[in-house]
Chain A
Amino acid sequence: MSSPNQSSRPQNDNPYDIATGEFDKGVTSGRKLFGKVMTGLVMLCVAIALLPLASILFMLLKNGLSRLLQDFPSVFTELPPPPLVDGGGFRNAIMGTLLTCLIGALISVPVGVLTAIYTVEFGQGNKLSQFVRFCTNVLSGVPSIIAGLFAYGVVVVLMGTFSAIAGGVALSVLMAPIIIRTAEEGLKSIPREVRQGLVGIGATNFQGVTNVILPAALPFIATGVTLALARAAGETAPLLFTALFNQFDARSLREPIATLSVLIYNYAIAPYKNQNELAWAAALIVVLLILTVSILARSLTSRKVY
């Protein structure tokens, strides 16, 4: 971490440059050059970092949009085609993604919000809330495929079948840390005067939290839920052995169900052109969905309540 020009002190006697009229603090041309080169390098870094995103979005639009426009309604209303059959859509996968995400949210939102209420409202800074924060961080680092294996070992083995419920459980493991973190942030953003006011009017903890504090923190919690849903909608690995896949509509929550992400995986590695195209179209839908939701979530929190 040392510059090559560390030891070079001003060599010229007069730091005031008569030609340019600048007083240059004795910065030699070598040190200036080093700065210029480094500035150029970091700008190059930014360009390289932006390139893949641009490429991905461009290819998604190029390959996905044509298919979506070409058979516009049928992509959303038909079932996935078998190999070597033209046309087809992914209505069952759209339903499956919505259902598994919904089940994931139904589990993770109450757990996440109540946990955040404990760590911020009741156990501020105590051992348990520190432990919970640690576990939340560790949980958010658990590889998504492990969440899938966990749901397999617990739900699939127990129910004896792959199902939307197992998929939802796997997703909830990944969603909970996101919800806990954003809910904590939201609760912390409420000024202490509000809590003091609640004590002043004789409200119980339960009354205070449900009537005043939760509603005030709602934008943050909504942000957390939407971010968690955005992540869940794109997750594939946890669904591979829990929701599995289904060529047809699932008739109940207790049987294998197709999801957009697993459809993308299956059809992207398939050697059939029609299925590849369908994978691109599905990917475009998922990415558009996720990007809109993430941008929406951001605008929710930027609006300050207090």
Chain B
Amino acid sequence: MTSPTISNQETLIESSQKFHAPRLIDRIFYWLTVLLSVGIGAVLVWITYSLLSIAFPAIATFNLGFLFSQVWNPVQDLYGALPQIYGTIVSSIIALLFAVPLGVGVAVFLSEDFLPRRILTPIAFVIELLAAIPSVVYGMWGIFVFVPFILPLLQGIHNALGWIPFFSTPPSTRQMFATALVLAIMILPTIIAISRDSLISLPPQLRQGAYGLGATRWETIMQVLLPAGLSGIIGSVMLALGRALGETMAAAMLIGNANRVNVSLFAPASTISALIANQFGEASGLQRSALFYQALILMILTLIVNMLAEVIVSRFQQVE
């Protein structure tokens, strides 16, 4: 780490006190950077406050019952968030179910020497490009390409396994399951990048020791490397979960905006962000306030998940 030591800084500050005008500029500059640094924290508080202040009428009207109500009736001004909370959490969890094994598999592949470095590096780069594609483009790709492609497959699952409640309705063109699959693709780069970093940064002695004990490559990976890199992998999964929870455009375009909880994954559903994106334009009064209440719930959900991820990832960085 190439950074000034404390004493180094003190001499810097002392030396600046010899001349008056530069010293003044220096002080102003220093306090400006302090102010803006504090400002970054203040923005977080400000965001929460502005959500809270606009959501307040809805919070006062519906209290915590909001969280468990399935009603969304602008005519009678009655609102609840259960379908959205359910949809947000369930779609994110399904996305994780697909993205985690896939992402960890790719991360293992990229951190091992199955192929020479000069082939692996471009593959890793191309996969990172997945993260650069805007979510609205994923949404459009979902509408015109992915959902038409996957629908016959889902119809087959429904025909064969329709007795299972999760697959009990014929697959609709706008539905929870296909949305979750697109979300899985979108969060894949997050899982791959951070898991790969945590696997690469493991001390080489671990691998050498395992090989020395006679373990094969895959015994080393499964019993030594993956457990050792676990905190980094869990951190990556939490970050990916945070992203899936807040993902807006793909969900708004694909999930179908049904304001009720439906056990079948092939039926239209809703998420918090999709509801906000779809209704905010026409909403006013208590409805707008209720939308902010939902946003507040989303904010709290993602804050908890991201802070947990932060703690886990920083712990793995310390070990490293």
A residues near B (Cβ < 8 Å) are: 1-3, 5-6, 25-27, 31-32, 34-35, 38-39, 41-46, 48-50, 52-53, 55-56, 59-60, 63, 110-111, 114-115, 117-124, 128-129, 131-132, 134-139, 141-147, 149-150, 153-154, 173, 176, 180, 188-192, 195-196, 198-199, 202-209, 230, 233-237, 240-241, 261, 264-265, 268-269, 276, 279-280, 283, 286-287, 290-291, 294, 298
CB-based contact A142/B102 at 8 Å: no
CA distance A290 to B223 in the complex (A): 40
CA distance A142 to B43 in the complex (A): 11
Residues of chain B within 8 A (CB-CB) of A195 are: 4, 8, 12
Residue from B40, B134, B146, B247 within 8 A of A286 (CB atoms): B134
CB-based contact A115/B144 at 8 Å: no
CA distance A192 to B130 in the complex (A): 37
CB-based contact A1/B37 at 8 Å: no
CA distance A34 to B243 in the complex (A): 34
For residue B97, CB closer than 8 A to chain A, the reply is: no
CB-based contact A3/B219 at 8 Å: yes
A52 and B185 contact, Cβ closer than 8 Å, known pairs A2-B223, A149-B51: yes
Distance in Å from the Cβ of B98 to the closest Cβ of chain A? 9
CA distance A198 to B22 in the complex (A): 15
CB-based contact A35/B218 at 8 Å: yes
For residue B253, CB closer than 8 A to chain A, the reply is: yes
Residue from B40, B188, B214, B217 within 8 A of A139 (CB atoms): B40
Residue from B19, B53, B298, B306 within 8 A of A138 (CB atoms): B306
CB-based contact A128/B34 at 8 Å: yes
A144 and B8 contact, Cβ closer than 8 Å, known pairs A176-B40, A236-B134: no
Residues of chain B within 8 A (CB-CB) of A280 are: 140
Among B206-232, those with CB < 8 Å from A are: 214, 216-219, 221-223, 226-227
CB-based contact A146/B249 at 8 Å: no
Please, could you name 12 A-B residue pairs with CB atoms under 8 Å apart, sorted by A? A45-B109, A46-B110, A49-B127, A52-B185, A138-B303, A188-B2, A208-B12, A261-B134, A264-B134, A268-B140, A287-B134, A291-B129
Distance in Å from the Cβ of B25 to the closest Cβ of chain A? 5
Among B1-48, those with CB < 8 Å from A are: 1-5, 8-9, 11-13, 15-16, 18-19, 22-23, 25-26, 29-30, 32-34, 36-41, 43-44, 46-47
CA distance A43 to B102 in the complex (A): 10
For residue B141, CB closer than 8 A to chain A, the reply is: yes
CB-based contact A269/B141 at 8 Å: no
New A-B contacts (15) at CB < 8 Å, excluding given A138-B303, A173-B43, A206-B16: A35-B216, A43-B109, A44-B105, A50-B127, A59-B144, A141-B243, A143-B299, A145-B298, A154-B46, A190-B2, A202-B18, A204-B22, A237-B248, A287-B134, A291-B132
Residues of chain B within 8 A (CB-CB) of A241 are: 280-281
Residues of chain A within 8 A (CB-CB) of B259 are: none
CB-based contact A141/B9 at 8 Å: no
For residue B171, CB closer than 8 A to chain A, the reply is: no
Closest A residue to B3 by CB, please name it. A124
CA distance A191 to B287 in the complex (A): 56
Residues of chain A within 8 A (CB-CB) of B50 are: 149-150, 153-154
Residues of chain A within 8 A (CB-CB) of B246 are: 141-146
The total of chain B residues at the interface (CB under 8 A) is: 105
Residues of chain B within 8 A (CB-CB) of A56 are: 133, 137-138, 141, 145
Closest B residue to A110 by CB, please name it. B36
CB-based contact A145/B143 at 8 Å: no
Residues of chain B within 8 A (CB-CB) of A43 are: 109, 114
CB-based contact B295/A38 at 8 Å: no
CB-based contact B307/A49 at 8 Å: no
Distance in Å from the Cβ of B198 to the closest Cβ of chain A? 15
Residues of chain A within 8 A (CB-CB) of B44 are: 135, 138-139, 142
Distance in Å from the Cβ of B5 to the closest Cβ of chain A? 8
CB-based contact B12/A198 at 8 Å: yes
Secondary structure at the A interface, as helix, strand, loop or mixed, is: helix
CA distance A270 to B246 in the complex (A): 24
For residue B192, CB closer than 8 A to chain A, the reply is: yes
A145 and B253 contact, Cβ closer than 8 Å, known pairs A45-B106, A204-B23, A236-B248: no
Closest B residue to A128 by CB, please name it. B37
CB-based contact A236/B15 at 8 Å: no
B4, B39, B108 — which one has the most chain A CB atoms within 10 A of its CB? B4
Residues of chain B within 8 A (CB-CB) of A154 are: 46, 50
Binary A-proximity of B230-273 (CB < 8 A = 1, otherwise 0): 00000000010011011111001100000000000000000001
CB-based contact A121/B1 at 8 Å: no
A143 and B136 contact, Cβ closer than 8 Å, known pairs A2-B223, A48-B102, A137-B310: no
Residues of chain A within 8 A (CB-CB) of B129 are: 53, 291, 294
A135 and B41 contact, Cβ closer than 8 Å, known pairs A55-B141, A145-B276, A145-B277: yes
Residues of chain A within 8 A (CB-CB) of B51 are: 146, 149-150, 153
Counting from the closest, the 10 A-B pairs by CB-CB distance are: A143-B246, A234-B134, A45-B105, A141-B306, A118-B33, A153-B50, A237-B248, A204-B16, A268-B140, A35-B218
A188 and B3 contact, Cβ closer than 8 Å, known pairs A199-B8, A205-B30: yes
Residues of chain B within 8 A (CB-CB) of A149 are: 50-51, 276, 280, 292, 295
CA distance A11 to B263 in the complex (A): 51
CA distance A190 to B127 in the complex (A): 30
Residues of chain A within 8 A (CB-CB) of B41 are: 131-132, 135
A237 and B126 contact, Cβ closer than 8 Å, known pairs A55-B141, A135-B40: no
CA distance A218 to B155 in the complex (A): 55
CA distance A173 to B42 in the complex (A): 12
